[in-house]
């Protein structure tokens, strides 16, 4: 990440909106914003698949669900945050991973310039590819600040996206069971 370019760009934006760059509280803003982008967009330089390297052989063949995984991402259209939670369910076919590994996949993929629809799909795809489960279901609920702060200005509006793979797609009872666990 080129933090110098970010600082230069932020300085230009501050100048364009009429901010006084000599003001003590604003003088360090370009560097702070560059540091912030380095942190919140750190997922762009990581492979989410690498987070699932620890795979255990296990005979568990029922739903494993992580509910309410917090996520923070940046909309690639307006560079404003979207904030919410992910619910990730899978049914293993011999392979399981540490629970924190699933949350790390969500973390890596959300720390990019992103759209919610793609984020939801990418989480499901990474889990399907690495764990080869019988099925995966991912539901993401998020509030988009590009709808809250600007444009339509509708705070509290939550966008819900879902992706189902394998048995969650082909078996409506399995899909319903996972949804009922998510809604608890």
Q: Residue 151 belongs to a domain with what CATH number?
A: 3.30.1130.10
Q: How far apart are the C-alpha atoms of 36 and 80, rounded to whole Å?
A: 13
Q: Are residues 34 and 60 in the same domain?
A: no
Q: Are residues 27 and 93 in the same domain?
A: no
Supply the pLDDT for residue 54.
67
Overall size of the chain counted in residues: 184
Q: Are residues 80 and 157 in the same domain?
A: yes
Q: Are residues 139 and 71 in the same domain?
A: yes
Residue 144 is among the residues annotated as catalytic for this protein = yes
Supply the pLDDT for residue 56.
79
Query: Which entry of 53, 77, 117, 176 is annotated as an active-site residue?
Result: 77
Supply the pLDDT for residue 60.
86
Listed as own residue / partner, the contacts of 147-155 with beta carbons closer than 8 Å and 24 or more positions apart are: 149/80, 150/78, 150/80
Q: Are residues 23 and 88 in the same domain?
A: no
Q: How far apart are the C-alpha atoms of 63 and 134, rounded to whole Å?
A: 10
Q: Is residue 115 part of a domain?
A: yes
Residue 176 is among the residues annotated as catalytic for this protein = no
Query: Which entry of 75, 87, 107, 122 is annotated as an active-site residue?
Result: 75
Which residues contact residue 63 at a Cβ distance below 8 angstroms, ignoring those fewer than 6 apart? Answer: 89, 90, 91, 174, 177, 178, 181
Instruction: Render each residue's pLDDT in the chain as its tens digit; 184 residues.
Output: 999 999 999 999 999 999 999 999 999 999 999 999 999 999 999 999 999 876 778 788 899 999 999 999 999 999 999 999 999 999 999 889 999 999 999 999 999 999 999 999 999 999 999 999 999 999 999 999 999 999 999 999 999 999 999 999 999 999 999 999 999 8
Query: Which entry of 49, 143, 146, 177 is annotated as an active-site residue?
Result: 146
Q: Are residues 29 and 111 in the same domain?
A: no
Residue 87 is among the residues annotated as catalytic for this protein = no
Q: Is residue 46 part of a domain?
A: no
Q: Are residues 135 and 103 in the same domain?
A: yes
Residue 146 is among the residues annotated as catalytic for this protein = yes
Q: Are residues 103 and 155 in the same domain?
A: yes
Residue 75 is among the residues annotated as catalytic for this protein = yes
Q: Are residues 139 and 176 in the same domain?
A: yes
Supply the pLDDT for residue 58.
79
Q: Are residues 83 and 115 in the same domain?
A: yes
- What domain range includes position 158? 51-182
Count of structural domains within the chain: 2
């Amino acid at each position: 990440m080129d933090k110098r370019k970010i600082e230069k760009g932020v300085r230009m934006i501050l100048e364009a909106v009429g901010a006084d760059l000599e003001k003590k509280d604003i003088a360090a803003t370009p560097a702070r914003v560059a540091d912030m982008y380095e942190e919140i967009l750190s997922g762009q330089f990581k492979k989410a698949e690498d987070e699932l390297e620890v795979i255990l052989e296990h005979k568990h063949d029922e739903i494993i669900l992580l509910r309410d995984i917090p996520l923070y991402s940046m909309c690639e259209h307006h560079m404003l945050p979207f904030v919410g939670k992910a619910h990730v369910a899978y049914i293993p076919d011999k392979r399981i991973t540490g629970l924190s590994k699933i949350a790390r996949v969500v973390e890596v993929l959300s720390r990019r310039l992103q759209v919610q629809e793609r984020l939801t799909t990418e989480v499901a795809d990474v889990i399907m590819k690495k764990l080869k489960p019988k099925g995966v279901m991912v539901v993401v609920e998020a509030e988009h600040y590009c709808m809250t702060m600007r444009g339509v200005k509708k705070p509290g509006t939550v966008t819900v996206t879902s992706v189902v793979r394998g048995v969650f797609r082909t078996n409506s009872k399995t899909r319903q069971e996972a949804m009922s666990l998510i809604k608890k």
